[in-house]
Amino acid sequence: MDFNEAGEHDEEAMLKGHLRSGLAMRKVGRARLRLALPAYREKLLSIHTVAFLSLCEFYAASVLMVDDLRKEDPVRAELLAEYETMCRDMEADAVAMMKGERNARWR
């Protein structure tokens, strides 16, 4: 894993590592959304739009980053908070998609 000058894992390298890990990111993202949104677990299985599948991939990468950042010592609190916010925003987008709402970010 690449480290920056402060000896921390490089954020870009961490993301690339997840994307190249061989994990089926859509499946990981959908599964993690099902954990994060228990009221929508069954509904999340029935959505197959391109926008939703793309969201699943980005959610997987972000939530895996959150997992990694939480394990760091010392924790990079600002970066962790940024990724946690991204995850919450994507969870809200997933709910909006399930409700049939539209948004310019994911038409």
What per-residue confidence (pLDDT) applies to 11?
Answer: 79
How do residues 24-49 score in pLDDT, each as one tens digit? Answer: 899 999 999 999 999 999 999 999 99
What per-residue confidence (pLDDT) applies to 8?
Answer: 52
Backbone angles phi, psi at 73, to 5 degrees: -135, 110
- How far is C-alpha 97 from the geometric centre of its chain's CA atoms? 16
CA max distance for the chain: 46
What per-residue confidence (pLDDT) applies to 1?
Answer: 43
How do residues 48-95 score in pLDDT, each as one tens digit? Answer: 999 999 999 999 999 999 999 999 999 999 999 999 999 999 999 999
Domain ranges of the chain: 11-98
> Greater confidence, 87 or 17?
87
